[in-house]
Amino acid sequence: MRQLVCSMEGMSWNLLLVTRILAMNWTELEQWKLVLTGFAMSDRNNTLSRQIARAFLTKYIKQNQDLITKFDTPLSPNTVESMVFSIVQTERNILQLTWTSVT
């Protein structure tokens, strides 16, 4: 699971492969190894793969927004809370950039 990640560059190759395999129909599933070479199975597969990624990202974007709202009060610059808030904001930026890459 460690390699199923999102970064500033978008979804990891492994996560992209998982969404493409999950989007396969039975006929495509027989040839699942082709996606390892970057082969595009079909337009339907590409569309469904992006929908799966958006659904996955939507959940985590919502969780991230919920965390951000817990930091309603101004934070002093040298607190642990300030550091955690910075990490949560960075995560939000990564998720939003990844969301943009799959829409």
Task: Give residue-wise pLDDT tens across range 58-100.
Answer: 998 999 998 888 876 666 666 788 888 888 889 999 888 888 8
Instruction: Tell the residue number behind the tokens 């992209």, with chain if given.
Output: 16
Instruction: Tell the residue number behind the tokens 């927004």, with chain if given.
Output: 65
End-to-end distance of the chain based on CA atoms, in angstroms?
A: 24
pLDDT confidence tier of residue 47, bands split at 50, 70 and 90: very high
**31 pLDDT above the threshold of 90:** no
